[in-house]
Amino acid sequence: MSETVLDVRDLEAGYEPGVPIVRGASITVDKGEIVVVLGPNGAGKSSLIKAVAGLVPISRGTVLLDGKDITAAPAHTMVRLGLAFVPQTENVFPLMSVEDNLKVACGILERRQAPASIEEMYAMFPDLARQKRSAAGNLSGGQRQMLAVARALIVHPKVLVLDEPSAGLSPKFVAVVFEMLAAIRKSGVTILLVEQNAKAALAIGDRAYVLVEGKERHEGVASTLWDDPVVAELYLGQRPLKREAGGAA
Amino acid sequence: MSLQFIVDGLLAGSMIGLGAIGVTLTYSILRFSNFAHGDFMAWGAYATLVCVGAIGALFGKVAPIAPLSFGWPLILGLIVGMAFTALLALLLDKLLFSRLRRQEQAIIVVMGSFGASMALRSLLEFVFTSRPTYFSRAIQIAMPVGLGIRITPDQIALLFLTAALVLGVHLLTTRTQTGRSMQAMSQNPALARIAGIDVAGVVRVTWVIGAALACVAGVMIGVLVQIRPLMGFDMLLPMFAAAILGGIGSIPGAVVGGLIIGLAEAGAVQLIGAEWRAAVSFIILMAVLIVRPIGLFGVRER
């Protein structure tokens, strides 16, 4: 039995009180896994991981990171606790250089550690090393995504949480981003991601959840999930609620 | 035409620029126009005055540091005044601005700052009356430095002080982790929080820097001109014009903007007449907003 890093239990969350978008969702992420959260538009996927990252108010349920309750932790303390979040858009500081973007993220590290950590990221993402003096706003879409991921990874989080890393990228860059995530996992990083691009995400994932109307309705091994008829039904929204109870296991 | 306006303009520009740094920081990081910023200048000047008075009462008359018109009591008073003004700004933020910010509508905070400005100004008038007062009534002889320009030792000292402070703040905001956090907050507050930046801490640093520099500007006005409860309010238009001319969020921009406005004002006084001084900031402000709203050093949002 592998060790659970992130344990989300019966989470209810939403921007406005009394209007939950996430309605009792439970997911777990084990050490070293890539877990993918899929679901139709408006299922609450992004809200789920934003709530986990402290960005959407939680009204019920718990979030445990390495067994520690982080449900009520403010967003700015999350990286220190070991949860690094990469937003879908506007995920770099556009007017700052690539290097300064990384330096800002080193705020929680010891001062002496910062230069080595930045070099480590440059070794992992040579594209960024080549452009360290350019403003992050001038990077291409794929490079910007790399910088956003490097910004999150630099603190060696226990879990890396990504909100649709392929959104808005050209197909060429989508492949690059998913290769990058696979490589990051190989280096031992635990990853939770939400994705619209289900096929690409399942290709690199270990397990996946299908979220519908704010609750996980199905869980399975990533490689075979797409072939499961229940998933197709859930995805296409064909009144799955009754049958799903038996088919989900 | 005499070149004396260059010295006058640089001095006025220094005061405007030091004030504009606070305006531009508050605008880019806290996202509102703080109309009470001028009153920080006046409060800083009066706090320094009170401190100098207290030192005088304790130690008797202290000889000035030749050839300046002031001695160590003013320097110590300035440091105390800067700390006091910074505390005043932090207190005002805690009592007023932080509550109004929670409503997430800039206009509410701006209106709040209008109210704070009036209250601060009236309190000064209540305590110190509206009569002008001075740090020193000693007359300084201006030394000729060629080309028909004259300058007093006080003026030289204050120009150097301004340069040192501007350089210090520039290095702080571009080379330190605190400064990078401030830049990050101004560019994307949501991401700054995600990246682990303590937003409340950055807000505090912003107030402290802005208010301390406002105090220095106020004391400069007090040393070179006079101290009045309205002295800061009168600086509002030139300060905002300087911050916008330089490009909101840019510290070098605020200072360059201040110097340009100071020089333009002094030039206009000589060429057209003193009654046009106030119009200069207004004309420059309008021209910038129409021709290049992002200012000299501003960058378009991406």
**Percentage of residues in chain A having pLDDT higher than 70:** 93
Is the CB of residue A105 less than 8 Å away from at least one CB of chain B?
yes
> What local confidence, expressed as pLDDT, does residue A213 receive?
87
Query: How many interchain CB pairs under 8 A, A with B?
Result: 71
Measured CA to CA, the distance from residue A52 to residue A8 in angstroms comes to 8
> What local confidence, expressed as pLDDT, does residue B47 receive?
95
Q: Does A139 reside within a domain?
A: no
**Percentage of residues in chain B having pLDDT higher than 70:** 99
A positions 45-64 inside 8 Å of B (CB):
53, 55
Q: Which residues of B79-116 are buried (b: 16+ CB within 10 A; e: fewer)?
A: ebbbbbbbebbbebbeebbeebbeeeeeeebeebbeeb
| Average pLDDT, rounded, for chain B | 89
| Average pLDDT, rounded, for chain A | 87
> What local confidence, expressed as pLDDT, does residue A248 receive?
39
Measured CA to CA, the distance from residue A61 to residue B276 in angstroms comes to 66
Question: Which residues in chain B are closer than 8 Å to A95, comparing Cβ atoms?
Answer: 183, 187, 299, 302
Chain B interface test: which of A93, A100, A138, A154 (most B C-beta within 10 Å): A93
How many folded domains does chain A comprise? Answer: 1
| Least confident window among A36-45, A224-233, B48-57, B185-194 | A224-233
Contacts of A95 (CB under 8 A, 6+ apart): A135, A136, A137, B183, B187, B299, B302
Q: Does B267 reside within a domain?
A: no
> What local confidence, expressed as pLDDT, does residue B1 receive?
65
How many folded domains does chain B comprise? Answer: 1
Cα dihedral A189, A190, A191, A192, rounded to 10, equals -160
Q: How confident is the model at residue A52 (pLDDT cuts 50, 70, 90)?
A: very high
Q: Does B124 reside within a domain?
A: yes
Residue A221 clears pLDDT 90, i.e. is over it: no
> What local confidence, expressed as pLDDT, does residue B301 receive?
54
Q: Nearest Cα to B212, choosing from B18, B11, B33, B32?
A: B18
> What local confidence, expressed as pLDDT, does residue B105 receive?
84
| Least confident window among A42-46, A227-231, B74-78, B94-98 | A227-231
pLDDT in tens, A174-190: 888 898 899 999 888 99
Q: How confident is the model at residue B302 (pLDDT cuts 50, 70, 90)?
A: very low
Q: How confident is the model at residue A249 (pLDDT cuts 50, 70, 90)?
A: very low
What range defines the domain where residue B39 resides?
15-146+155-231
Residue A76 clears pLDDT 80, i.e. is over it: yes
Q: How confident is the model at residue B67 (pLDDT cuts 50, 70, 90)?
A: confident
CATH number at residue A74: 3.40.50.300
What range defines the domain where residue A80 resides?
4-87+159-247
Residue A238 clears pLDDT 80, i.e. is over it: no
Q: Does A31 reside within a domain?
A: yes
Q: Does A151 reside within a domain?
A: no
Contact status, residue A205 vs residue A36, Cβ threshold 8 Å: yes
Q: How confident is the model at residue A245 (pLDDT cuts 50, 70, 90)?
A: very low
Question: Average pLDDT in the B200-207 region?
Answer: 94
Is the CB of residue A150 less than 8 Å away from at least one CB of chain B?
no
Q: Comparing B184 with B129, which gets the higher pLDDT? A: B184
Q: Does B263 reside within a domain?
A: no
> What local confidence, expressed as pLDDT, does residue B300 receive?
62
Q: Does A141 reside within a domain?
A: no
Q: Does A122 reside within a domain?
A: no
Question: Average pLDDT in the B154-172 region?
Answer: 92
